[in-house]
Each structure stands twice: as C-alpha cells, then as structure tokens.
C-alpha cells in the first residue's frame, strides 16, 4: 500500500482526492493546506485521512508518506518539489509544472539531483476519449497523423490565483494550453519535437480580472512537418469545452471529452452539475463521474502503479519542462508577431 501525502485543498486537490479513491494500492494518509479548517474539511469528505498539516515540510517528513501529490498554485510548485525531494519522496505535480521554462528546468534539476521518482499530472492524455483515440492512431486507423486541432474553453478559473498573471506566470494559454500542447505531443510522438510556434493572445472579456490573456491561439510546427492548432479560452459560457480533431492520411478522429449522456432542461436547481457550468437551470449538460471522464482517476492509478514498480511513468517532469518551454515560445511570439523557435536549454539552444 502506497501512502500518499496530498498538498492542497482547492478544486484540484479535491479532484485528486476523489481520483485516489479509485486506486486500490494507495491511500491518502496525510493532507496539507495553509488553512487548518480546509484541511480538516477535505479529510472529512474523503477520509479517513490520518493526519492534517499546515506545514508543508512536516507532511513531507511524515514517515508514512511515500508519494507526495502536489495540487497547489503554480507559484508554489518549485518550493513544494524542493521540500518533497529533500525528504526523498516520490512526487506527482499538477499542470503546468512551472510558470516558465527556466523554473521548470530548476524543478527538473531538483528531482534529478535528489534521484527521486517524478510524474507530471497531465490529465488530458489519460482521459478515456483521448486514450481510445490514441490507441486507434497507434494501430494505424487514420494512417499518418497530419494535423490536429484542439480547444479547451470555459468562462474562467475557479481560484483567484489563476487570474493574477504576474504570480501565476500567464493567462489562459498557460492554464489550459498546457493540456492541448501535451496532447499534441502525445499524438504526433515525443520523438518528433515541436520546433517553432506562432501565437496570438488578447484580453477580450476579463480586463477587470486579469492582465493576462483570456483568449489565445497557437500554431505548433513539428520536426516531421505536421501542424497542431491549440485554442484556449476563458470567455466561453456554458461549461467546459474539450475537443480534439485529428486528420490523418487515411481518415480522421474527433474526441469531445465534455460530451455527456445526461442533458436536459430544468427549472429548479439540482446541485452541482459540472465544472464551470455557469448556470444551474435551463439547458444543462452534467458530466457524470468527472474525475474519471477527465482522466484524473486513470492518471493516479498509472502513477501509483509505476511508482510501486520503480519505473518511469508515461508523463514525467521532462514532459512538463518541454511544455513550459513551448509555452515560453508562444508568449514570445505573442509579443514579436513572428514564428519563434522552441528553446529547451538554459543557454538558449534547442
């Protein structure tokens, strides 16, 4: 049984706690929040969880914690990884790994120097729809993948820290483009790197809330000549939009993670419906078992299984670092107005 220490009591922490209920070989033995009341609330909801901490280092020093799962704001990731790595714990970190490529490189260096196991919690590639499409692509169903269009959109983040672009590291593209960039790498192959990008971003609807972009589009050019278009938006009402369109030499595939078998028109509220629903009456599209539909349960099972076996998972901090570097190039392109190369190393080389 793997003892898990969960850091964070916000939306993603709650989602990870839900997802970990599906992992038979793991148990949350401790959880952390800066607010003792929130830590206790999460423990009561998903318990029994033996211990609650308001000191991150004390949780990481807990001898019953084998694997630390980080569900904290972007600006705390580097510190949390450093403390968990110093304690010799395995680490899973939520997306994005960092606020920029340089910080991601520091995080990657931290786990490498400590020699600890690490997994990058990019849920999109574990969602059932994406997993099935990837299986079909790998089997040659649509021939050679030529282009991909992916979009993630909703009306804005849950937590206030995401709106602070200076602290978080960016706006909608950092928040959601990290998902679609990694799914593009997933389909086109990680041995087929993204070499250059072209991006546009603007603050169209939320200038009163953020100085970051609330809308963005990026074109990703791969070494093999393929192209991915990723769209990220915080300005769309009516719930989550998660769609991939893959075009190959022998066909095409479409996934829609936000599609649901339950929908209808209601006059009276029925409680929680779906992440970022925006309205609880009228036409509604609730998503059953969100933690499973979005891939959180599947990724946690995968991480725990790989950690127990001592093997690298499908998504590691190396992947998170590359995604951050691609995002850096996108932000440079937003400013320069031209295609920008993806630079992966500290000395500015590819």
Tell me the backbone φ, ψ of residue 140, rounded to 5 degrees: 85, 15
For residue 304, what are its two tokens?
């725990």
The secondary structure element, H or E, covering residue 108 is helix 101-114
Contact 326, 220 (CB under 8 A): yes
Same domain (yes/no): 146, 91? no
In a domain, 237, yes or no: yes
What SS3 class is residue 89? Answer: coil
Question: Using 50, 70 and 90 to split pLDDT, how confident is the model at 296?
Answer: very high
Q: Structurally, how many domains does the chain consist of?
A: 2
For residue 195, what are its two tokens?
């070499």
Q: Give the CATH number of the domain where residue 81 resides.
A: 3.40.50.720
Same domain (yes/no): 102, 135? no
In a domain, 23, yes or no: yes
Residues 228 and 220: their CA atoms lie apart, in Å, by 5
Same domain (yes/no): 246, 302? no
List pLDDT tens digits, range 132-185.
Answer: 999 999 999 999 999 999 999 999 987 788 899 999 999 999 999 999 999 999
Owning domain of residue 81: 2-124+297-313
Tell me the backbone φ, ψ of residue 193, rounded to 5 degrees: -70, 155
Same domain (yes/no): 239, 305? no
Same domain (yes/no): 185, 224? yes
CA atoms within 13 A on the CB side of 224: 16
In a domain, 11, yes or no: yes
Same domain (yes/no): 99, 238? no
List pLDDT tens digits, range 37-83.
Answer: 999 999 999 989 999 999 999 999 999 999 999 999 999 999 999 99
List pLDDT tens digits, range 171-219.
Answer: 999 999 999 999 999 999 999 999 999 999 999 999 999 999 999 999 9
Q: Give the CATH number of the domain where residue 251 resides.
A: 3.30.360.10
């Amino acid at each position: 049984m793997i003892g898990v220490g969960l850091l964070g009591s916000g939306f993603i922490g709650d989602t990870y706690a839900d997802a970990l209920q599906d992992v038979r070989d793991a148990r949350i033995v401790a959880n952390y929040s800066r607010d003792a009341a929130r830590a206790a609330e999460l423990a009561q909801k998903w318990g029994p969880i033996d211990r609650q901490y308001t000191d991150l280092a004390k949780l990481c020093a807990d001898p019953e914690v084998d694997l630390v799962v980080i569900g904290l704001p972007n600006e705390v990731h580097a510190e949390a990884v450093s403390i968990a790595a110093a304690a010799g714990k395995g680490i899973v970190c939520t997306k994005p790994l960092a606020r920029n490529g340089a910080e991601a490189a520091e995080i990657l260096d931290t786990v490498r120097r400590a020699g600890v196991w690490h997994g990058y919690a990019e849920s999109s590639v574990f969602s059932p729809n994406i997993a099935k499409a990837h299986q079909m692509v790998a089997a040659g169903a649509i021939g050679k993948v030529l282009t991909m269009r992916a979009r993630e959109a909703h009306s804005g983040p849950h937590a206030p820290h995401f709106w602070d672009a200076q602290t978080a590291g960016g706006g909608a593209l950092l928040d959601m483009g990290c998902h679609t960039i990694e799914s593009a790498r997933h389909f086109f192959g990680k041995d087929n790197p993204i070499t250059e990008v072209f991006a546009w971003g603007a603050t169209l609807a939320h200038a009163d809330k953020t100085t970051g972009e609330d809308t963005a589009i990026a074109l990703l050019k791969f070494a093999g000549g393929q192209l991915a278009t990723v769209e990220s938006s915080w300005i769309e009402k009516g719930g989550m939009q998660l769609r991939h369109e893959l075009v190959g030499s022998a066909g095409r595939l479409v996934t829609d993670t936000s599609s649901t078998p339950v929908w209808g028109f209601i006059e009276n509220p029925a409680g929680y419906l779906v992440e970022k629903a925006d309205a609880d009456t009228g036409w509604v599209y609730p998503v059953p078992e969100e933690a499973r539909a979005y891939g959180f349960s599947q990724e946690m099972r995968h991480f725990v299984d790989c950690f127990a076996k001592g093997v690298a998972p499908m998504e590691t901090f190396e992947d998170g670092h590359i995604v951050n570097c691609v995002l850096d190039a996108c932000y440079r392109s937003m400013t320069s107005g031209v295609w920008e190369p993806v630079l992966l190393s500290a000395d500015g080389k590819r």
